[in-house]
Structure 1
Amino acid sequence: MKAYIQTNKDGEFYNVNAFTAYEGFKNFGFEVEKFIDSGEISDNNPEHIIVGGILNVRKRLQNLNIIRENKEIDYPAELKAYLKRKIWDSTINETFNSKNWNIFIKPQTETKLFAGKVIKNEMDFVGLIDPENDIRIWCSELIDFKTEWRCFIRYKEILDIRRYKGEWDKKIDLKIVRNAISAFQSQPRSYALDFGVNENGETILVEVNDGHSLGTYGIPPYNYAKFLSARWSELTQTEDYLNF
């Protein structure tokens, strides 16, 4: 088996995620080949996994004629009870005109259009308003999360949990995490549940992220390789050779 892993122009792995993936796949006996732009890969074998930035991964899927839904997972209807806040569909222009601010917004379909951000005044819309392309977004009421944790889920089991923001001594409620996994019937083979803990110690779902090109947040190489392999095999409808 082969893993294509993204590098920079100097041939160095483009970030720690790529290096971690290299360590993981190499240890599992995969042949590793470096690339800069996935559009330059001539190999048409969908079993061969690709590790890189989200745009490169999705370009590779497109070049393999593999169709995935444009919308991100974000806020599954099955997990609405775990969000503990109002979340609604809108557009940049609608939100600007509504003056309903002091909210968090993020793009619905193209994650690289802009980073999710808090909107408090008109200046926060700078660079976002385009009369000819009114971007669809998710809007969310604000919650003051004291700590945020990423839960890596693989085949409906917790693979690892890593704190990525906030106070180290605020712990998430694992019972809530496990209940959310059980409730998420349409879940992919690998994905991340991001949970936050507020000032009252409540464990609240921040969002859900697809598993095809997530960062490591410090998980071991062997787990990272297994996590990526699970989602790639699902997207390409091929065998997951690391399903053990």
Structure 2
Amino acid sequence: MDQSHSSGIPNFPHLVYVQHFDPGKYPVESAVAVRELEKRGLPYIAKTTEDLRDDPLSLTRNDLVIGDTDWTRRSMKSLRMQMPEAPDYPKCLEHLLHRKIEITTLGKVQQQLEEDPSKEIFIKPAKDTKAFNGLVEPKDQMLWYVLEEFGPSYPVVASEIVNFVTEYRVYCIKGEIVGVSYYCGLKEHTLDLDIVKGAAKVHFEHEKLNGYVLDFGVVLKKDAEGNEVTQTTLIEVNDGYSIGYYEGVTEEKYVDMLIARWAQLVRQ
């Protein structure tokens, strides 16, 4: 089957390397991918991360890799590719964040929390977004660990805490929404899809990622009359590789997104 409709490159990928943990035991994302690859008649090889450490993949830039971030990082290294900069909070979508977000350091976060122990701050790595998972401090009590591991000068994104009552994942290919997945919170609160569709188009126009995910949430606010209203708020943008799968996007479109983004990355 010709994959050029999603990748823009005829007959891409030639081969797909898929991560698994044990023979026949796939993480959700890999299982979804394998089912779709088999439907398309695309050849794939399943490997563990340990396999990758012991015997690096014979990757070419005509191949696709599907797995977690460590798996992807190792694959990019073998192809002499740089991990792309995280698209978390693009300037073109700042108006949808509805909260203060800044680039700072672990040391400065520690100082802020010492000065105001009642304060809570969400932090995540500013560059290598998968260096550690996002934390709410001091609630998670992990600041000491990341300080020890990365040092006080390590750059992080620090955000005000927002109470998202519902969260959704929006899968996009070249500015078009291909799936909207509810994944957390009160399902009765829905997104303003006009806002979301506009965000998908604006992001592609400015950032030119062929495959990406917009995580949106719903926040409850009071209007001028004191009535409770909902506000569709951008949580973050995620690059279209090593990305979690949630029901709401078809397996076909999920794999199309992975192919579209990886094909773009290997051609950069």
Aligned to 1:242: none
Q: 1:121 to 1:41 in 2, by over 3 A?
A: closer
Q: 1:132 to 1:86 in 2, by over 3 A?
A: closer
Aligned to 1:89: 103
Say if 2:56 and 2:78, in contact at 8 Å, map to a contact too.
no
- Does 1:212 find its partner at 2:224? no
> 1:77 is matched with which residue: 74, 87, 91?
91
> 1:51 is matched with which residue: 58, 61, 66?
66
Aligned to 2:260: 230
Aligned to 1:5: 18
Aligned to 2:27: 15
Say if 2:169 and 2:216, in contact at 8 Å, map to a contact too.
yes
* Deviation readout 1:32-80 (Å, 9 max, x if unpaired): 11111345344232111011111111211111112233x3111011111
| Aligned-partner Cα distance in 2 for 1:143–1:67 | 32
Gaps of 5+ in 1: 239-244
| Aligned-partner Cα distance in 1 for 2:172–2:162 | 24
State how many pairs are aligned.
236
| Aligned-partner Cα distance in 1 for 2:155–2:199 | 27
> 1:186 is matched with which residue: 207, 218, 222?
207
> Which residue type is aligned with residue 128 of structure 1?
V
Say if 2:126 and 2:156, in contact at 8 Å, map to a contact too.
yes
| Aligned-partner Cα distance in 2 for 1:149–1:214 | 14
> Which residue type is aligned with residue 156 of structure 1?
G
> Which residue type is aligned with residue 87 of structure 1?
I
> Which residue type is aligned with residue 112 of structure 2?
S
> 1:115 is matched with which residue: 130, 133, 136?
133
Say if 1:5 and 1:51, in contact at 8 Å, map to a contact too.
yes
SS of aligned partner of 2:65? strand
Say if 1:35 and 1:41, in contact at 8 Å, map to a contact too.
no
* Deviation readout 1:151-184 (Å, 9 max, x if unpaired): 0011110010001110111100011111212322
Deviation at 1:121, TM superposition (A): 6.2
Say if 1:5 and 1:13, in contact at 8 Å, map to a contact too.
no
| Aligned-partner Cα distance in 1 for 2:88–2:33 | 24
Q: 1:203 to 1:44 in 2, by over 3 A?
A: same
| Aligned-partner Cα distance in 2 for 1:133–1:98 | 16
Aligned to 1:241: none
List, as ranges, runs of 4+ consecutive aligned residues in structure 1 with deviation greater than 6 Å: none
SS of aligned partner of 1:60? helix
Larger helix proportion of the pair: 2
Say if 2:170 and 2:181, in contact at 8 Å, map to a contact too.
yes
| Aligned-partner Cα distance in 2 for 1:13–1:4 | 15
Aligned to 1:195: 216
Say if 2:106 and 2:151, in contact at 8 Å, map to a contact too.
no
SS of aligned partner of 2:244? coil
| Aligned-partner Cα distance in 2 for 1:51–1:107 | 23
TM-score by length of 2: 0.82
SS of aligned partner of 1:126? helix
> Which residue type is aligned with residue 5 of structure 1?
V
> Which residue type is aligned with residue 195 of structure 1?
F
TM-score by length of 1: 0.90
Say if 1:103 and 1:139, in contact at 8 Å, map to a contact too.
yes
Larger Rg: 2
> Which residue type is aligned with residue 232 of structure 1?
W
Deviation at 1:131, TM superposition (A): 8.4
- Does 1:33 find its partner at 2:45? yes
Aligned to 1:62: 77
> Which residue type is aligned with residue 201 of structure 2?
S
